[in-house]
Amino acid sequence: MESQAGGSVFSHVPQVPEVPLYAMQAAYGKDSSPQKLNLGIGVYRTEDGRPVLLDVVSRAEQLLVNDLSSFKDYLPITGMPDFNRLSAALVLGADSPAIKENRVTTAQCLSGSGSIRIGADFLAKHYGQHHIVYMSQQTYGNHPNFFSAAGIAIKTYRYYDPGTRGLDFQGMLEDLRSSPTGAIVLLQACAQNPTGVDPTMSQWKQIRQLIRSKGLLPFFDCAYQGFVSGNLEEDAQSIRLFVADGGECLIAQSYSKNMGLYGERVGALSIVCKTAEVACNVESQLKLVIRPMYSNPPIHGAAIVAAILKDRDMYNEWSIEVKAMADRLMSMRQHLFNALRDKGTPGDWSYIIRQVGMFTFSGLSPEQVAFITKEYHIYLPSDGRINMAGLGPKTVPHLADAIHAAVTTAV
Amino acid sequence: MASAMLSLASVSPSASLSTHETPKGKLKLGSTSWSLNKERNCLFAKTESFGRVSMVAAVNVSKFEGVTMAPPDPILGVSEAFKASTNESKLNLGVGAYRTEDLQPYVLDVVKKAENLMIERGENKEYLPIEGLAAFNKVTAELLFGADNPVIKQQRLATVQGLSGTGSLRLAGAFIERYFPGAKVLISSPTWGNHKNIFNDSRVPWSEYRYYDPKTVGLDFEGMIADIKAAPEGSFVLLHGCAHNPTGIDPTPEQWEKIADVIQEKNHIPFFDVAYQGFASGSLDTDAASVRLFAARGLELLVAQSYSKNLGLYAERIGAINVVCASSDAATRVKSQLKRIARPMYSNPPIHGARIVANVVGDPALFNEWKAEMEMMAGRIKGVRQKLYDSLTATDKSGKDWSFILKQIGMFSFTGLNKAQTENMTNKWHVYMTKDGRISLAGLSLAKCEYLSDAIIDSYHNVS
């Protein structure tokens, strides 16, 4: 180690390369083309490509800042109790037996990411010898990192079938079947990122049966509730199917997209347990994981969420705004499909309207993606994932042109 | 499935068991202690001698069957116990959150102004970069080091927004574990209760250096220097920049120089926890003097900052980890590593508190207003210290020297009360404080000083 007198004690510390998605954002920022399109990062945009502050969120914030009885005292370690209660009810249903029986412990965490990390750390510490998690082969880029930071080994199950541009259901079942008993299984509740491919309800039922018969532990990532069907209750059905059988699971919820609260970092980790006593013990241990990481969670986003969820009018307003966002995504899918069909672009593009949520897995190769970026100034990650929210009716033709060129040119 | 819930009413008073309600919400019935979890309204049995009693015959066993009930946090648990108490005289001197003279929480005027500005602008809530809000990172570094400090001008500083002091310390802990494997962090004895947890969870070994001298109720300076000197070369030395928590005892400027000497001699790396800048003396610059002294020597060092107390932003979780490096190249690399640690923790930090700080510190008018509010808060604490000291010396005829109350600085006072005496404070006088004898003066009003002094005198003299 270098002494303080001479060089740096940090001389052995290497540079970490920028996360590819963020490097892409930076490149987009530097691009001066008036036609440039950002279809990379996963945030919702208006049809003019602008960020959205939901009306109901503005309303809630105004109420909060005018509320003279609101203070900024530390929240409890597991966060705002009202927020926790309302979040559990949102994802599980207010009349869920698991909630009624006090078998659910909910901790406010830093959005979906923080919820997954706290869950992973908790499992690493308390979930016996089962330090292995299975996640879909194509999954959110940061998923592996939460678990490896917690010291949990990572394996994948087959998910996306490039042939059908749909779910490789048999592959998924086979891989889960051959996993060791007790392994953790990470599932995305709806609007799978990055593929846009969700299991059907019938397929979920089979997945559930297999997971329960093998004693696997399901861990749901629920980041897009409301973004598939436009209906909050409907998009939670996969999770509720599992909880209805009385079994255990973990759920990481995020309000980043469906309430547009991205930077506020608001979400929740719920752990559904066999008994109320277990839930109590688990809750106390979650506190020991959270306290040395950041003591207690940030209040602002949770206060906004709680204000909206507990007021019937604001909840309805919110539901309408979520539906509008989901509808716009579906509309863009239809626009893009129509544009490619009308151009006669070779290939079957129907998957665009079959896939759901914010993303479409375009099936473009990395070379084709690079071509599109260079020639058309359209930015998307090399796996071909398109953020449909980055499109508007005026910009769809540009993307259609680009895709058409990419598949008809020898790239 | 039978629930494990039992109601207190069903416990027969005629049974040969004694009940004793403790402020922690624990009910002791003979050898069985019952934990009352207030938030969840559940009551579960736990026999001390035989381990957990499972009240439920479950068909399918929980995957978390073996998870035991964790003890409540020693600091945050105090507030929970205080809330549970119904006694009229109760006093919360547990956690260090500032209270007005009326013992109400306080949101600073400048914070309200900043929040209103933010709403008027209708700013969206897009993700911050992993390293946080650039405007915040800029002002927080300038506040700490001074805007014209060479470390800033030469771009030798890596600053990453963190989740208040705790989160910033945790980023540093993870960084130390990865790039200085086996290196120890030396922490003061005593120190803030969560320091050990943070380094344990970061898997960084730690050891203590002598700090508090119970005989003088002051600093054991010789012991501190000796222990820092004895530690393996290249250790990280955790120092409280000002307003030491829990003792309130800070080194003098001359002592800081000597601490810097021995740290330099041993090629140790100074690691400051600055949670009270502006709150200790009332002056932001004065309270940063220790950090600036070390930086001026050209040392590489780490500083964790928090805006919980000085801007009253407790629940917004806003702070930063700063690493002063020998070169700008090193700073760039270190920053990238801190980002790499933050990303799998929470992806990117919360925006609200960062914007408030950036607005307040970045606007000259708001900044001046803030300085005035901070002087007011620090002034109230000094006033309470004086009144408590006056009450103690007026009432206590034993000749005990209570002047340490005036010499200590910041939110906390180390009373020197032991565990049993502290329990007496709570059980008899309904004064809630941490077991180490720490009281938070921020939770004390002038009106309550006499009552508190009675409690302290009684506990000190009549309990051992």
Question: How many angstroms away from the CA of B147 is the closest CA of chain A?
Answer: 23
Up-side HSE of residue A333: CA atoms within 13 Å toward CB? 22
pLDDT grade for B16, boundaries at 50, 70 and 90: very low
CB–CB contact B122 A72 (8 Å): no
Pick the CATH number of B127-362 from 3.30.420.40, 3.40.640.10, 3.40.1390.30, 3.40.50.720: 3.40.640.10
In terms of pLDDT, which residue wins out, A2 or B305? B305
User: What is the predicted ipTM?
Assistant: 0.96
Contact (Cβ atoms closer than 8 angstroms) between residue A155 and residue A138: no
Active centre residues of B (catalytic):
192, 273, 309
Any B CB within 8 A of A149 CB: yes
Any A CB within 8 A of B110 CB: no
Contact (Cβ atoms closer than 8 angstroms) between residue A192 and residue A140: no
Q: What is the distance between the alpha carbons of residues B236 and A181, in angstroms, rounded to a whole number?
A: 43
Q: Three-state SS string across chain A, please?
A: CCCCCCCCCCCCCCCCCCCHHHHHHHHHHHCCCCCCEECCCCCCCCCCCCCCCCHHHHHHHHHHHHCCCCCCCCCCCCCCHHHHHHHHHHHHCCCCHHHHCCCEEEEEECHHHHHHHHHHHHHHHHCCCCCEEEEECCCCCCHHHHHHHHCCEEEEECCEECCCCEECHHHHHHHHHCCCCCCEEEEECCCCCCCCCCCCHHHHHHHHHHHHHCCCEEEEEECCCCCCCCCHHHHCHHHHHHHHCCCCEEEEEECCCCCCCHHHCCEEEEEECCCHHHHHHHHHHHHHHHHHHHCCCCHHHHHHHHHHHHCHHHHHHHHHHHHHHHHHHHHHHHHHHHHHHHHCCCCCCCHHHHCCCCEEECCCCHHHHHHHHHHHCEECCCCCEEEHHHCCCCCHHHHHHHHHHHHHCCC
**Partner residues linked to A220 by β-bridges:** A187, A251
Q: Over the Cα atoms of chain B, what is R_g? A: 24
Q: Name the closest residue on chain B to residue A271, using Cα atoms.
A: B64
- By Cβ distance, the residue of B56, B126, B300 closest to A10 is B300
Question: How many angstroms away from the CA of A156 is the closest CA of chain B?
Answer: 18
Residues of A in contact with B300 (CB under 8 A): 4, 8-10
Strand, coil or helix: B225: helix
Question: How many angstroms away from the CA of A5 is the closest CA of chain B?
Answer: 8
Strand, coil or helix: B334: helix
Q: What is the distance between the alpha carbons of residues B303 and B322, in angstroms, rounded to a whole number?
A: 5
CB–CB contact B37 A280 (8 Å): yes
Amino acid at B91: L
Which run of H or of E encompasses B20? strand B19-21
Checking if the pLDDT of B190 tops 50, the result is yes
Structure confidence by residue, pLDDT tens digits, B58-88: 347 899 999 999 998 888 778 888 989 999 9
Mutation choice for A interface testing from B3, B64, B299 by most A CBs within 10 A: B64
Shortest CA distance to B255 belongs to which of B233, B271, B240?
A: B240
Q: What is the pLDDT of residue B42?
A: 52
Those residues of chain A that have pLDDT short of 50 are: 1-5
CB–CB contact B166 A282 (8 Å): no
Residue keyed to tokens 């292995």: A132
Q: What is the distance between the alpha carbons of residues A318 and B450, in angstroms, rounded to a whole number?
A: 53
Q: What is the pLDDT of residue B23?
A: 35
- Start-end ranges of CATH 3.40.640.10 in chain B? 127-362
- By Cβ distance, the residue of A149, A182, A265 closest to B350 is A265
| Centroid of chain to Cα A132 | 21
pLDDT grade for B38, boundaries at 50, 70 and 90: very low
**Separation of first and last alpha carbons in chain B:** 49
Domain ranges within chain A, ordered by starting residue: 20-52+327-409, 74-310
% of chain B at pLDDT higher than 70: 87
Compute the Cα dihedral for B160, A304, A94, A84 and give only its sign: positive
Any B CB within 8 A of A247 CB: yes
Checking if the pLDDT of B381 tops 80, the result is yes
Compute the Cα dihedral for A389, A394, A397, A398 and give only its sign: negative
Contact (Cβ atoms closer than 8 angstroms) between residue A42 and residue A193: yes
Shortest CA distance to B174 belongs to which of A96, A294, A258, A29?
A: A294
Q: What is the distance between the alpha carbons of residues B129 and A402, in angstroms, rounded to a whole number?
A: 30
CB–CB contact B350 A275 (8 Å): no
Angle between the N-to-C axes of helices A143-150 and A111-126, in degrees from 0 to 180, rounded to the nearest 10: 30
> Residue A97 is encoded by which pair of tokens?
């037996």
Q: What is the pLDDT of residue B40?
A: 56
- By Cβ distance, the residue of A10, A58, A148 closest to B333 is A10
Q: Is omega for the bond preceding B190 within 30 degrees of 0, making it cis?
A: yes
Any A CB within 8 A of B115 CB: yes
CB–CB contact B343 A13 (8 Å): no
Tally of CB atoms within 10 A around B253? 10
| Centroid of chain to Cα B29 | 34
- By Cβ distance, the residue of A248, A260, A293 closest to B345 is A293
Question: How many angstroms away from the CA of A23 is the closest CA of chain B?
Answer: 12
Compute the Cα dihedral for A271, A273, A278, A279 and give only its sign: positive
- Backbone φ and ψ of A218, nearest 5°: -75, 140
Question: How many angstroms away from the CA of A21 is the closest CA of chain B?
Answer: 12
Question: How many angstroms away from the CA of B275 is the closest CA of chain A?
Answer: 14
Contact (Cβ atoms closer than 8 angstroms) between residue B211 and residue B408: no
Residues of A in contact with B37 (CB under 8 A): 280, 283-284
- Start-end ranges of CATH 3.90.1150.10 in chain B? 74-106+368-462
Q: Name the closest residue on chain B to residue A59, using Cα atoms.
A: B119
Q: Name the closest residue on chain A to residue B311, using Cα atoms.
A: A72
CB–CB contact B125 A277 (8 Å): no
Pick the CATH number of B74-106+368-462 from 3.40.50.720, 3.30.300.250, 3.90.1150.10, 3.30.110.40: 3.90.1150.10
**Separation of first and last alpha carbons in chain A:** 49
Supply angle C-alpha A371, B347, A317, rounded to 5. Answer: 90
Q: What is the pLDDT of residue B74?
A: 81
Annotate B249-272 with DSSP letters as a single string: ----HHHHHHHHHHHHHTT-EEEE
Any A CB within 8 A of B395 CB: no
The second-level CATH assignment, the architecture, of A20-52+327-409 is Alpha-Beta Complex (3.90)
Contact (Cβ atoms closer than 8 angstroms) between residue B401 and residue B462: no
CB–CB contact A273 B64 (8 Å): yes
> Residue A245 is encoded by which pair of tokens?
């059988």
Residues of B in contact with A149 (CB under 8 A): 344-345
Q: Name the closest residue on chain A to residue B192, using Cα atoms.
A: A292
Question: How many angstroms away from the CA of A373 is the closest CA of chain B?
Answer: 23
Angle between the N-to-C axes of helices A396-408 and A366-376, in degrees from 0 to 180, rounded to the nearest 10: 130
Q: Over the Cα atoms of chain A, what is R_g? A: 22
Topology classification of domain A74-310: Aspartate Aminotransferase; domain 2 (3.40.640)
Amino acid at B151: V
Edge to edge, the sheet with strand A153-157 lists: A104-109, A267-272, A249-254, A217-222, A184-188, A132-136, A153-157
Residues of B in contact with A65 (CB under 8 A): 112, 115-116, 119
Q: What is the distance between the alpha carbons of residues A129 and A265, in angstroms, rounded to a whole number?
A: 31
Residue keyed to tokens 């927004």: B161
Question: What contacts B248, CB < 8 A, 6 or more positions away?
Answer: B408, B409, B410, B411, B412, B413, B414
Any B CB within 8 A of A305 CB: no
Which run of H or of E encompasses B402? none
- Backbone φ and ψ of A244, nearest 5°: -65, -25
> Residue B307 is encoded by which pair of tokens?
């805006």
Edge to edge, the sheet with strand B157-162 lists: B157-162, B319-324, B301-306, B269-274, B236-240, B185-189, B206-210
Q: What is the pLDDT of residue B26?
A: 42
Checking if the pLDDT of B56 tops 80, the result is no
Shortest CA distance to A276 belongs to which of A100, A398, A151?
A: A100
Interface A:B, Cβ pairs < 8 A? 285
Any A CB within 8 A of B333 CB: yes
Compute the Cα dihedral for A96, A98, A102, A104 and give only its sign: negative
CB–CB contact A8 B300 (8 Å): yes
Q: Name the closest residue on chain A to residue B300, using Cα atoms.
A: A4
Interface of B with A in 230-249 (CB under 8 A): 234
Strand, coil or helix: B48: coil
> Residue A397 is encoded by which pair of tokens?
């033709």
Residues of B in contact with A58 (CB under 8 A): 119, 122
Q: What is the pLDDT of residue A278?
A: 97
Any A CB within 8 A of B7 CB: no
Checking if the pLDDT of B35 tops 80, the result is no
Q: How, if at all, do strands B51-52 and B42-47 pair?
A: antiparallel
Any B CB within 8 A of A119 CB: no
Q: Burial level of B18, CB count in 10 A (0-12/13-18/19+)? A: exposed
Structure-derived torsion over alpha carbons of residues A210, A212, A218, A222, reported in degrees to the nearest 10: 80
Mutation choice for B interface testing from A9, A152, A387 by most B CBs within 10 A: A9
Which run of H or of E encompasses B162? strand B157-162
| Centroid of chain to Cα A406 | 29
Up-side HSE of residue B11: CA atoms within 13 Å toward CB? 17
Question: How many angstroms away from the CA of A115 is the closest CA of chain B?
Answer: 8
Q: What is the pLDDT of residue B27?
A: 39
CB–CB contact A14 B345 (8 Å): no
Contact (Cβ atoms closer than 8 angstroms) between residue A386 and residue A352: no
Interface of B with A in 311-330 (CB under 8 A): 312-317, 323, 325-327, 330
